[in-house]
Amino acid sequence: MCGVVGLIGEEKAGEKLFPALFALQHRGQDAAGILSFDFDRAEFHLEKDLGLVSQVFPIERLSRLKGTMALGHTRYSTIGTVEKEDLQPLVLSYPNGIGMAHNGNVTNYSEIVEYVRGRRSRWTFTRNDLEILLHMMSIGISDRLDAGDSLSADVFAKAAQDVIEKVKGAYSIVGMMADQGMFAFCDDQGIRPLLIGRKLNPSGKYSYCFASEKQVFFGLGYDYWRDLQAGEFVYIDRDLNFSTFQKSKKVSRPCMFEWIYFAGAETEWHQRPVYEVRLRLGEILAAEALKKMKQENFEVDLVAPVPDTARAAALRLAEVLEKPYREVLIKNRYVQRSFIVNEPEVRKAMVNLKLLPVESEIRGKKILLVDDSIVRGTTSARIIQLLRESGAEKVYLASTCPPIRYPCFYGIDFPDGESLVAFQKTEEAVAKHLGVDALIYLPLNKLREAIGVDSLCMACLDGDYPVPVEKKNFLETRSRNIGGGGKNEVNG
């Protein structure tokens, strides 16, 4: 999962994406990049590097990003590596300068790379699946130019439709055509979010902004306009004329995990505000907790969240149960990437310092802990042990996500079923494995109601994959990856 953003019709667009990338930092912490285009000098400017947004962009780097059109990226590696050549945005020079950044995963990578390299004689230099998306876009444009067309919105739209038909997976893309304009498109089931914002200029035309999350618009002074639709291609030319194309309309299948865990609490998607959904998840979970407490005859003294995502749900759950809401774990926001430290003792200390117990609130208490989800179970087990060591009398765990039993091949970092704690396990077995006194999951059949969207991707919960995946092919592709490091590193 990554964060993407694009801006057209704005002076110093590249520099303005710097604060926008802060608003998307939680979506990817491996690397960051900005590509700008200066229409006056007909020049691309690209700055990208490993690290957090604040580390990648000292002021002198930002000032090099000239132009009124720019796109940016915060990277969370699931395909490709954390090597520099794999960082986004990527640029191609033929048949016209094209730059792109994306959020998502291609699931038929081997087939497409074979087509690009074997049948179209184009070399690839990275292990990032964006590169083959970029080549496919470029091939679609080249073929039409060879057939006598000239560069136009129509040509770009047809090229993007070819990409959507041939390249399988979940992806949301923002791109720029040198000297021409900005475009955005996504896969035909709209699995990954991309929102459109706009701002009316004194000239009477709109400037446009694309972003993975809505808070970017607030920061840049744009109004949220609407979501990009599944399979839609939109284009804004250099004179700020907007056009949209959608070849076939499929039912969208947005990723449920955006609401549960990944998205910032302040955004919305499909008209469903993330914070409101998380409150509703807490409400449903409260009903389940009450049932469990009655069945197993236990009481709790307080409700506490695992910071940060579970806060809204824990708050609502506490209100319904009429129990105190307390913070029993404090997250140290300054401890960042522990794997870059080589010394094992220092690394262990950094992991320990990431989440610290508030002993005065824990000692002698029966705690109902609320987490957004339980993925591999390693973090949950560590937290439960931490609470016990800090004197908790009982620890109960409630998860706003139903059991995750199947891998995700669409951009969240759990592509291997065996590593999931709930894989082929009953809820009782998971509870035992984690060492909790009781475990409460949000029921699978209540999730659509809680999110308020009828059609969702819930493949990691029910195994119903909206885009078929050949697992062997995917895992071979995946073995190219040594990355990781999005929001909380999805290791809970």
Contact residues for ligand SF4 (CB under 6 A)?
170, 191, 255-257, 408, 410, 412, 457-460
Least distance CB 255 / ligand SF4 (angstroms): 3
Q: Is 2 a catalytic residue?
A: yes
**What number of residues does the chain have?**
492
Query: What is the rounded CA–CA span in Å between residue 377 and residue 394?
Result: 19
**Count of CA atoms in the C-beta half-sphere (13 A) of 484:** 14
Specify the residue, 97 or 190, whose C-beta has the smaller distance to ligand SF4: 190
Specify the residue, 337 or 405, whose C-beta has the smaller distance to ligand SF4: 405
State yes or no: cis peptide before 89, omega within 30 of 0: yes
- H or E element that contains 209: strand 206-211
Least distance CB 453 / ligand SF4 (angstroms): 12
Specify the residue, 10 or 258, whose C-beta has the smaller distance to ligand SF4: 258
Give the active site residue among 2, 186, 209, 255.
2
Specify the residue, 197 or 415, whose C-beta has the smaller distance to ligand SF4: 415
State yes or no: cis peptide before 95, omega within 30 of 0: yes
Checking 462-466 for CB contacts under 8 A at 24+ apart, the result is 462/406, 463/405, 463/406, 465/409, 466/189, 466/191, 466/253
- Shortest CA distance to 301 belongs to which of 315, 322, 330? 322
Least distance CB 191 / ligand SF4 (angstroms): 5
Q: Are 364 and 393 in contact (CB under 8 A)?
A: yes
Specify the residue, 70 or 457, whose C-beta has the smaller distance to ligand SF4: 457
Mention every residue, 6+ apart, whose C-beta is less than 8 A from residue 153: 181, 235, 237, 243, 245
Least distance CB 136 / ligand SF4 (angstroms): 22
CA distances from 236 to 34, 38, 190, 223, 240 (A): 19, 15, 20, 17, 5
Query: What is the rounded CA–CA span in Å between residue 101 and residue 91?
Result: 9
Query: What is the rounded CA–CA span in Å between residue 404 and residue 430?
Result: 11
Least distance CB 483 / ligand SF4 (angstroms): 17
Least distance CB 195 / ligand SF4 (angstroms): 17
Least distance CB 185 / ligand SF4 (angstroms): 18
Specify the residue, 392 or 412, whose C-beta has the smaller distance to ligand SF4: 412
- Shortest CA distance to 228 belongs to which of 29, 6, 413, 458? 6
Query: What is the rounded CA–CA span in Å between residue 161 and residue 75?
Result: 25
3-class state of residue 485 by DSSP: coil
Encoding tokens for residue 303? 């409700």
Encoding tokens for residue 2? 């990554």
Specify the residue, 71 or 447, whose C-beta has the smaller distance to ligand SF4: 447
Checking 466-472 for CB contacts under 8 A at 24+ apart, the result is 466/189, 466/191, 466/253, 467/107, 467/168, 467/169, 467/170, 467/187, 467/189, 467/191, 467/409, 467/410, 468/107, 468/168, 469/107, 469/409, 470/107, 470/108, 471/407, 471/409
Specify the residue, 105 or 215, whose C-beta has the smaller distance to ligand SF4: 105
Specify the residue, 163 or 408, whose C-beta has the smaller distance to ligand SF4: 408
Least distance CB 460 / ligand SF4 (angstroms): 3
Mention every residue, 6+ apart, whose C-beta is less than 8 A from residue 451: 256, 259, 272, 277, 280
Least distance CB 400 / ligand SF4 (angstroms): 14
Q: Hey, which residues are catalytic here?
A: 2
